[in-house]
Structures are given as C-alpha cells and as structure tokens.
C-alpha cells in the first residue's frame, strides 16, 4: 500500500494532453458514451456505457454472493430528518443537495411565472421539503437497521446501490455530481467489521486486477469541510480508517478512487443507537464501488470501443 501502481500504465498521454487535443470527456461525448446536459458533472449514459455498469454490478454481486447480504435499494432521495441527524452537515455542508419545492399560493405562482418571463430569480417561494438528495448509498440504512433492535450475534450485512449526489461541479468525468454507488455495509463488533473490510480489500484488488487495470491502494481521507475538516482528515488518516483503491484515469498524479474501504468505528452506532447483541454500541464498515468511475477506468484503459477490449476482460464482464 505504498501508492505505486501495480503494473505499468500501457497507454499514452495519461497526463494532461495539449490544449488542442480532445479531453477524455470530449471523447466520451463524441463517442456518445456520455450525453451532455449543459451541467458539468451531470450526464446521460448510453446503452453501451450502461452495459458496462450492469456488468460491473453483476461482477460485484458474484464476488459477494456467498456472504448472505440482505439486499436493500433506496431511491436517490432520503429523509431530511435522517440526513440532519446523520451528521453529514458537520463534515460536508458544501456537498449536500436539498430538495426544494414551490410552496406558495396562486398569487405567488403568478409572481413565479412573471419572474421566469423576465429572466429574474424565480426561486423565492421555493422552500425546503422533507427530502434531501442521498449523499452515500448507506445513509438511509442505519436508522432502519437500528429500528430492528440489537444486532444478532453474527451481526448484519447489507447490499445497497443508489444514485448519490455531491455538489462538486467538475470537468473531470470521474467527478460526477450524480453517480451510482454500490455498497456492502457490515454491522457488528469491531473484529467482525474489520475482518469484513480486510476481506474486501483483497477481493477489490483481485477484482480490479481481473479487469486488467493498474491500481494502488492507499490510506485516504474524506473531503471534510474547512479547518475543522483538516483536523478530521488528519485524524482519519492517522487511524487508518479509510483506504481507497485508485486507478489512474484523468492523470497519474491524481488517480481516481474507484473503490473505498471505510471503518466508521462507532460513529453510526452511536448516532443511531445501534447495538450489538451484548448491548455494546455497534461498529460499522463499508466497501463502496464507484460504478461510473470503474466504468470510466475501463474505457480509459481499454478504449472506447467495447468490442475491442481484451478478451479476458470481456469474458470476466460478459462471459
């Protein structure tokens, strides 16, 4: 875990191309794999792109198939009350997305339309609803798990996938504002959840090797906000709570985290009063897969024509 990529990057101009050369994002648009919406980081996906996402999703399911995870799927919006209690705003206020809706009366509606016609701000009567955009697939899960009472002795394991939102507009195709995150979430004793994380560190590495992508696993930190966030980030790194599996996609210097392996200690257990069988506060851990990021890594390394990908990769995905 020294940050050295495990095998040579065998394609050219991974680092910033000359200004005249189409960027990777341009080429994805030109090939029709991604579709422009007019907003950076918000894209449509083609059938070919989705076929890769689906294949990666099946691959992950296959790797975890023997673990008996309980499958749950949530929409990309979650309860605002749950979101507020989760602590997300303490750490990432700048990334959060809230759902607002028109809450005025008829006269206000006329005013809204007048503003719209005049090209003025029409959002004055928009008010926050009880829904926020899901920032990570596991956020809706914890209170529901806690409602079931103490965990059984063997703990619990969940399988999640959701579109997630993070407000960070970027021209890097790997930093989308709305993207899919697949997760396995383990709840139990510290030993149980750390063993889970260790097993997925090995499985994740094997998975990405099977896809013939260069990788490096590094200690990491979440993008906590502000000066307080720098302290949280330093603490997270010092305690080895987060690891990321990185693949160079946009550049070698700033590789892209395609998988992350997170030990939350008792953060969510304490927040949601989630208990182990013996009454102690539960610990949690998760492995997260950036579905678009893995897909983009495959496209970057194996080319935009899926039919020309190495046979072993195609067999692993679609065989």
By CB under 8 A, residue 238 contacts other proteins: yes
Helices (DSSP H) in 65-105: which residue ranges?
80-86, 88-91
By CB under 8 A, residue 235 contacts other proteins: yes
Nearer to other proteins, 3 or 226 (CB): 226
Q: What are phi and psi of 2, to 5 degrees?
A: -105, 10
Alpha carbon 230 to its chain centroid, in Å, reads 21
By CB under 8 A, residue 232 contacts other proteins: yes
Secondary structure class of 142 (helix, strand, coil): helix
- Using CB under 8 A as the binding criterion, the count of chain residues that bind other proteins stands at 13
Distance CA 33, CA 105 (A): 43
Nearer to other proteins, 48 or 281 (CB): 281
By CB under 8 A, residue 239 contacts other proteins: yes
70-73 and 156-165 as β-strands: parallel, antiparallel, unpaired?
parallel
By CB under 8 A, residue 228 contacts other proteins: yes
Nearby residues of 212 by Cβ (< 8 Å), 6 or more positions away: 301, 302, 310, 312, 313
178-188 and 283-290 as β-strands: parallel, antiparallel, unpaired?
antiparallel
Which of 231, 252, 273, 305 contacts other proteins by CB under 8 A? 231
**In 10 A of CB 207, how many CB atoms?**
23
Query: Beta partners for 158?
Result: 70, 185
Site string for other proteins, 20-59 (x = CB under 8 A): ----------------------------------------
Segment interacting with other proteins, rule: CB under 8 A, options 4-12, 145-153, 196-204, 230-238: 230-238
The token pair that represents 123 in the structure block = 């959002």
The token pair that represents 223 in the structure block = 């993008």
Nearer to other proteins, 9 or 281 (CB): 281
Which of 36, 58, 85, 90 contacts other proteins by CB under 8 A? 90
Nearer to other proteins, 236 or 250 (CB): 236
Contact positions with other proteins (CB under 8 A) in 263-282: 267
Query: Which residues contact other proteins (rule: CB under 8 A)?
Result: 87, 90, 227-228, 230-232, 234-236, 238-239, 267
């Amino acid at each position: 875990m020294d940050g050295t990529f495990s095998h040579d990057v065998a394609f050219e101009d991974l680092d910033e191309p000359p200004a005249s050369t189409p960027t990777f994002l341009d080429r994805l648009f030109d090939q029709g794999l991604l579709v422009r919406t007019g907003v950076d980081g918000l894209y449509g996906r083609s059938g070919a792109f989705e076929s890769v996402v689906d294949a990666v999703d099946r691959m992950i399911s296959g790797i975890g198939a023997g673990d008996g995870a309980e499958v749950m799927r949530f929409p990309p919006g979650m309860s605002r009350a749950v979101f507020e209690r989760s602590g997300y705003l303490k750490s990432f206020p700048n990334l959060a997305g809230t759902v607002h809706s028109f809450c005025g009366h008829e006269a206000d509606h006329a005013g809204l339309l007048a503003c719209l016609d005049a090209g003025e701000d029409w959002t004055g009567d928009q008010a926050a609803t009880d829904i926020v955009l899901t920032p990570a697939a596991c956020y809706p899960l914890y209170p529901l798990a806690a409602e079931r009472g103490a965990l059984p002795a063997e703990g619990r394991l969940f399988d999640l996938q959701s579109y997630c939102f993070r407000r960070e507009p970027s021209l890097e195709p790997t930093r989308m504002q709305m993207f899919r995150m697949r997760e396995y979430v383990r709840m139990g004793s510290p030993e149980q959840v750390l063993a889970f994380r260790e097993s997925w560190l090995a499985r994740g590495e094997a998975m990405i090797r099977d896809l013939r992508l260069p990788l490096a696993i590094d200690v990491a930190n979440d993008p906590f906000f502000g000066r307080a966030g720098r302290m949280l980030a330093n603490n997270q790194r010092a305690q080895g709570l987060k690891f990321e599996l990185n693949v160079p996609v946009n550049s070698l210097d700033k590789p892209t985290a395609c998988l992350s392996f997170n030990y939350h200690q008792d953060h969510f257990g304490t927040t949601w009063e989630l208990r182990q069988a013996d009454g102690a506060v539960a610990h949690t851990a998760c492995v997260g897969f950036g579905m678009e990021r893995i897909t983009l890594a495959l496209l970057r390394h194996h080319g935009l024509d899926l039919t020309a990908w190495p046979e072993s990769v195609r067999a692993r995905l679609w065989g």
